[in-house]
Amino acid sequence: LSLLILSQKLSGEYFRYKGIPFPVGIYSPESIRMVENADVQDDDIFIITYPKSGTNWMIEILSLILKDGDPSWIRSVPIWKRAPWCETIMGAFSLSDQPSPRLMSSHLPIQLFTKAFFNSKAKVIYMGRNPRDVVVSLYHYSKIAGQLKDPGTPDQFLQNFLKGEVQFGSWFDHIKGWIRMQGKENFLFITYEELQQVIPPPRPTPTPLRPSVLHSSPPHTRFPSREACSAA
């Protein structure tokens, strides 16, 4: 079952793990604890975002880079299988058949992320987004996602967002926590807005990109392609 189908059968209740709210049914204290204590491989690649900040867009881009621009992986394998979520009950660290390098996604704040990462050569790409757009997108998503609490009115939801009383807690704490990693050679911070500008990479990529990747990326990562799946 996809997370979308599963979410239609959930309660919309939250539990707290070390002070952070999580939707019941998609996550559990045990699944988050597993992430905290998981082993990390030096060639692992993690996409970290606050919810509704462009996770799926980044997954599509990295999927093309990892396959030298060949879009067949994108066309044949669901996005949740190409870059499984770390902290879900059926999380990435519980899967034994992932190819190397493993591409994984997470919304976890830095204090709950895999401890082993910080002593590894694994890479994190953190994608940020303007909080005004995040809160609007998250509000509308909360109205249709069964695993999330009813958002109430836009004003009520905005107040909850500002107080961090939404899934994965405060946007401000989330981005402030991860941005402290800037300057580390295995950490890249980039924004949704930077990608929208369709400009050359703002920083050198760890591996030179072949022409096939550069030619393949635009048609498979521009807005119409991204809109086929919701921006996680």
> Model-level pTM?
0.82
Q: Is residue 201 situated within a structural domain?
A: yes
Question: What is the amino acid identity at position 182?
Answer: Q
Q: Is residue 70 situated within a structural domain?
A: yes
What per-residue confidence (pLDDT) applies to 219? 53
- DSSP H or E run through 174: helix 171-179
Domain with 200 in it: 3-12+20-224
Question: What is the amino acid identity at position 151?
Answer: P
Residue positions annotated with a catalytic role? 107
Closest to 8 (Cα-Cα) out of 144, 137, 142, 152: 144
What per-residue confidence (pLDDT) applies to 94? 80
Q: At what angle do helices 171-179 and 131-144 cross, to 10 degrees?
A: 130
Domain count, the chain: 1
pLDDT tens for the 232 residues of the chain, in order: 445 555 455 678 999 999 999 999 999 999 999 999 999 999 999 999 999 999 999 999 999 999 888 888 889 999 999 999 999 998 888 877 788 899 999 999 999 999 999 999 999 999 999 999 999 999 999 999 988 999 999 999 999 999 999 999 999 999 999 999 999 999 999 999 999 886 444 444 445 555 555 555 555 555 444 443 445 7
Which residues, 6 or more positions from 214, have their beta carbon under 8 angstroms from its beta carbon?
69
**Whole-angstrom distance, CA of residue 52 vs CA of residue 154:** 16
Tell whether the torsion through CA atoms of 196, 198, 202 and 205 is positive or negative: positive
Q: Is residue 231 situated within a structural domain?
A: no
Q: Is residue 28 situated within a structural domain?
A: yes
What per-residue confidence (pLDDT) applies to 202? 42
Q: Is residue 94 situated within a structural domain?
A: yes
What per-residue confidence (pLDDT) applies to 224? 40
The CATH number assigned to the domain holding 25 equals: 3.40.50.300
Q: Is residue 232 situated within a structural domain?
A: no
Measured between alpha carbons, how far is residue 20 from residues 41, 150, 164, 165, 194 in Å? 27, 18, 8, 8, 29
**Token pair 């107080």: residue:** 163
